[in-house]
Amino acid sequence: PGSILDRLARNKLPFQFKPNDNIIFSSKTIPVPISMANKEQMDKRLKKTGARLFDNVHVSGHCGREDIRDLLTLINPENIIPFHGSMQQLIPLVELAKEMGFRTGKECHLMQDGQRLKL
């Protein structure tokens, strides 16, 4: 209770949801009885407006393999340098780049921390 969305559901603010509006919950409800009960009551009020509810929608912020493939196709980089992860996390990008025709050590460079590369 008291959140902006809850106040909207209770008609306490000058905004009305319309049928077929989409309400997306991109977080999970804290799994304690009071929070779960409050969320259930708010959902009931929101559904009465005709809005569509999408619950527990989560995006990690990290793209998947096919998203990376699309990006590499779109930008066609001269060099690819995977970074910000363990070797185990970086190797799949090197494998994808190789699959797409980038040569390891030529256009795709798997680096160690502190290593330098002259381009």
Confidence at residue 56, expressed as pLDDT on a 0 to 100 scale: 81
Confidence at residue 81, expressed as pLDDT on a 0 to 100 scale: 97
Grouped pLDDT means (10 residues each) for the chain, 119 residues: 91 93 89 94 96 84 88 97 91 97 97 91
Residues 81-101 have pLDDT tens digits of 999 889 999 999 999 999 999
Confidence at residue 76, expressed as pLDDT on a 0 to 100 scale: 96
- Residues in Cβ contact with 107 at an 8 Å cutoff, skipping those fewer than 6 apart: 77, 78, 79, 80, 97
Confidence at residue 63, expressed as pLDDT on a 0 to 100 scale: 83
In the chain, where the domains are located: 4-54, 62-119
Contact 109, 80 (CB under 8 A): yes
pTM, rounded to two decimals? 0.53
Confidence at residue 38, expressed as pLDDT on a 0 to 100 scale: 96
Contact 93, 111 (CB under 8 A): no
Q: Which residues are bridge partners to 13 per DSSP?
A: none
